[in-house]
Structure 1
């Protein structure tokens, strides 16, 4: 068995159709041609070029879950899993999250809560990659605790006026459409007082305060956003006033499945890369693979990744059937976020000094993986979501 055998384990899964296999192959070929030769420069630049995202739109990758009426493929969450795994396998986490925030963390807010006029005006451009989306709910003092957000919106005639700031917003610098959460129900910690708004680049009072420098995901642009008496037309209210919390919670389920799939794609590729390395690198007259401790550790890591993958696939399939999978999604986010870091640590260790060099893909992958146990719901928060459903 060689590294090339591992992806076949995914394609043989009973949860996926021939359509999914074709999608996986097309995405993988696209990444090999359009991403891998150029992505090192994107890491230096700090963002993924808009031309690349438009190419992805032309290929249909940005509309996998969207309605055919807007140019999408109308697939279910299993299509997202295929996309996220393959983007994770690219080894460039910043590129992967740039795309996945647009497709599966931001755009679904419009898909689920947008009225016909909003969908008709905005969705075709999002599916085609002509405009890029971001979701702005996190604040410096309110991450997983959404009820603590301090950004407010008050009705003033035919506009809402937003005041506050959002932090750690992926696609924040180069985005065009922002789905912003703000308090409309007065002060306090009420979940019922949150509303969602469509804020578009150039609206008065909206600005990018600063791009943020990160440990990893270097090719994703991340920003702090400021709303200073930002006037948003009433027709840009997304869904019902004071019902935005439920929209956020609904989409967090999809976001966490997506992040789990990305993490497993990264972990699988790290194992493959490391297997290639240890079967060729010699030390003390043997390849590293001939060292029992190394091959047994890698075998156990593969077992853990495959077990997590089956949980992911089964949960995604159940979600597509309309079943309630809140606990399982939280398990996936906690498990995969921790597991990808365990895999990266061991794989870098087995690369020795070379694994610490910037020229080694595993060095970048280690940095990129660290946030997987933080973003989208920290491990500790996810475990609490599981624990409170155990009794």
Structure 2
């Protein structure tokens, strides 16, 4: 995949969103199906968005994830989250990639031939996805994994999975965790039934079970005990950006739905339009401002984090928390402005509201992000004492 300028990549995302994602969004939601067509289109043209250029990728960072994610989120939130998790996992694999990782994962990803995703959350640790209980043992030249991962986006559709485990090295300290990458056909990996959610119905979230899943040591990412480094230097920034931008797209779609309704709606008894009413104008203006200031926070935080700025992660934590509240508020206002027409179960606002509510649920939770931000501002340990 040759170097692609950011504007060109965003334009490609917009074209694919209009031609492939948006026309299928309602069906993906109603049928609770993984968006195979949309994911294939995005993977083929933008799969290597964050893969380094030396591995054939585009070499972009967080700002690209933010801009592409907003475009795809506006068209179909489920597809956007699925593709976003591919981008996060790609960045994790690339962060300390060996020659094996480049050949086996990054180059196929850059060529649009490989889909990857995250498998970090576990049933017993709730929103604290960085605290793995999956065990990893060393048996000769192999690493053997036993445990379970919950809410794995892209379910069994991915070609590889970035998995967190308890560190297995002889010199590993208690509480140390590691990251590995598993191929989708790894023996000992099985899947639970599809998860059925209120929203984000197409993300194919499932539970992964690992029962003595064996893999070569070449699949270890970084060194033993590096997982916390990955979480705060790669996973958290990319994960927060992918989620925040998707929900920004959902909020933007709801705002446009309300604006379009107001422009075309006319009272037959008086001939006046809703757009001419000052109260409606005020409400829409306030909605626009909320979406726009959230967008600027996300983009600025991504830019700051790309540059290694000291407040990059702080901004991204706040961005994900802000967009969760903004999307919910803007969609509720859009429902009010569009009245009975917008409230129809067949309309897009119904889907947007259900999808947006997941922004508070997907870890890190909104309250957790607010606490992290406060701790950082008060020079306290992010994870507490």
* TM-score (structure 2 length as normaliser): 0.89
Is contact 1:54–1:128 with CA below 8 Å preserved after alignment? Answer: no
Rounded to whole Å, the distance in 2 between the matches of 1:309 and 1:263 is: 10
Match of 2:383 in 1: none
SS at match of 1:123: helix
CA RMSD, aligned part only?
2.1
Q: 1:239 to 1:76 in 2, by over 3 A?
A: same
Matched, 1:228 2:211: yes
Match of 1:259 in 2: 243
Is contact 2:92–2:230 with CA below 8 Å preserved after alignment? Answer: yes
Is contact 1:206–1:226 with CA below 8 Å preserved after alignment? Answer: yes
Q: 1:387 to 1:185 in 2, by over 3 A?
A: farther
Match of 1:330 in 2: 317
Match of 1:321 in 2: 307
Rounded to whole Å, the distance in 1 between the matches of 2:276 and 2:43 is: 45
Q: Deviations over 1:291-315 (max 9, x none)?
A: 4333212211211221122222222
Residue among 103, 109, 132 paired with 2:115: 132
**How do 1:76-91 and structure 2 match up within 5 A?**
76-90=61-75
Match of 1:10 in 2: none
Rounded to whole Å, the distance in 1 between the matches of 2:26 and 2:375 is: 43
Q: Deviations over 1:334-367 (max 9, x none)?
A: 1111111111111122222222323211111111
Rounded to whole Å, the distance in 2 between the matches of 1:147 and 1:376 is: 10
Rounded to whole Å, the distance in 1 between the matches of 2:308 and 2:32 is: 42
Rounded to whole Å, the distance in 1 between the matches of 2:112 and 2:28 is: 18
Q: 1:191 to 1:38 in 2, by over 3 A?
A: farther
Q: How far off is 1:138 after superposition? A: 0.5
Matched, 1:302 2:288: yes
Is contact 1:197–1:236 with CA below 8 Å preserved after alignment? Answer: yes
Matched, 1:47 2:34: yes
Residue among 345, 360, 364 paired with 1:358: 345
Match of 2:382 in 1: none
Task: Identify unmatched segments of 5+ residues in structure 1.
Answer: 1-17
Rounded to whole Å, the distance in 1 between the matches of 2:176 and 2:317 is: 25
Match of 1:102 in 2: 86
Match of 2:199 in 1: 216
Residue among 357, 361, 382 paired with 1:374: 361
Rounded to whole Å, the distance in 2 between the matches of 1:134 and 1:22 is: 24
Aligned residue pairs total: 367
Match of 1:174 in 2: 157
Residue among 263, 270, 277 paired with 1:279: 263
Match of 2:381 in 1: none
Q: Deviations over 1:270-303 (max 9, x none)?
A: 1111111123224574433344333212211211
Q: How far off is 1:152 after superposition? A: 1.1
**How do 1:113-262 and structure 2 match up within 5 A?**
113-146=96-129, 148-184=131-167, 192-250=175-233, 251-262=235-246
Rounded to whole Å, the distance in 1 between the matches of 2:21 and 2:357 is: 22
Rounded to whole Å, the distance in 2 between the matches of 1:191 and 1:370 is: 36
Q: Deviations over 1:5-24 (max 9, x none)?
A: xxxxxxxxxxxxx9433333
* TM-score (structure 1 length as normaliser): 0.87
Rounded to whole Å, the distance in 2 between the matches of 1:32 and 1:146 is: 34
Matched, 1:312 2:298: yes
Is contact 1:66–1:111 with CA below 8 Å preserved after alignment? Answer: yes
Q: 1:158 to 1:366 in 2, by over 3 A?
A: same
Is contact 1:278–1:289 with CA below 8 Å preserved after alignment? Answer: yes
Rounded to whole Å, the distance in 1 between the matches of 2:225 and 2:8 is: 42
Is contact 1:132–1:171 with CA below 8 Å preserved after alignment? Answer: no
Task: Identify unmatched segments of 5+ residues in structure 2.
Answer: 379-385
